């Protein structure tokens, strides 16, 4: 803005009545507040609300994960480990060569197809058996396992 335009603006402002000057200053103040609200305050609060929602969702998900446990069939857990192991090995098509109960442990020698044997071992752990030791051997194309399980 050059000097001449500034003088014209100052003369125009001076020629206005005090009431008009007050109204224009009020309008300028209201526009400044509205501009500050829409440009600064509102987007900030919207981002804050989105962040709070995301935080709540993450906190709920975290709580659900902390509470989550693998589903276990309660009838399976009440039966003796030796019975469960024998029945599930037979159902999986595995050959049980040896089973020996030693206190709370169960020593096994099992053989069969590799994927069926590994799936069976995973199933035992999911049903609550604790794998204390495991030795795997391949003999004549058949996977054999010597396992010590504990309830």
DSSP secondary structure of 82-142: HHHHHHHHHHTT-EEEEEEEETTEEEEEEEE-HHHHHHHHHHHHHTT-EEEEEEEEEETTE
Beta bridge partners of 149: 106, 131
**Low-confidence winner among 9-18, 43-52, 61-70, 71-80 (lowest mean pLDDT):** 71-80
Q: What is the pTM of this model?
A: 0.50
> Any residues with CB less than 8 A from the CB of 106 and at least 6 apart, and which?
81, 82, 85, 99, 100, 148, 149, 150
Identify which has the larger pLDDT, 98 or 79. Answer: 98
- pLDDT value for 103: 84
- pLDDT value for 71: 56
Percentage of the chain lying above the pLDDT 90 cut: 56
In the chain, count of helices (H) and strands (E)?
A: 6, 4
The mean per-residue pLDDT over the stretch 123-146 comes to 90
133: pLDDT confidence band, cut at 50, 70 and 90? very high
Between helix 114-126 and helix 81-91 the angle, nearest 10°, is 150
Report whether 85 contacts 124 (CB < 8 A). yes
pLDDT digits (tens, 9 = 90+) for 85-122: 999 999 999 999 999 998 889 999 999 999 999 999 99
pLDDT at 144 over 70: yes
Beta bridge partners of 112: 143
Residues 7 and 15: their CA atoms lie apart, in Å, by 12
What's the chain's average pLDDT? 88
Of the chain, the end-to-end C-alpha distance in Å amounts to 88
> In residues, how long is the chain?
151
Percentage of the chain lying above the pLDDT 70 cut: 93
């Amino acid at each position: 803005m050059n000097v001449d335009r500034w003088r014209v603006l100052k003369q125009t402002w001076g020629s206005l009545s005090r009431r008009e000057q007050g109204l224009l200053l009020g309008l300028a103040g209201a526009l400044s507040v509205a501009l500050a609200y829409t440009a600064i305050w509102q987007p900030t609060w919207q981002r804050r609300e989105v962040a709070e929602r995301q935080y709540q969702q993450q906190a709920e998900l975290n709580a659900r994960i902390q509470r989550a446990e693998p589903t276990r069939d309660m009838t399976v857990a009440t039966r003796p480990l030796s019975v469960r192991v024998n029945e599930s090995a037979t159902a999986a098509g595995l050959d049980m060569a040896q089973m020996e109960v030693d206190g709370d442990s169960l020593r096994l020698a099992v053989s069969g197809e590799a994927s069926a044997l590994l799936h069976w071992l995973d199933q035992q752990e999911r049903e609550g058996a604790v794998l204390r030791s495991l030795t795997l051997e391949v003999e004549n194309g058949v996977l054999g396992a010597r396992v010590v399980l504990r309830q």
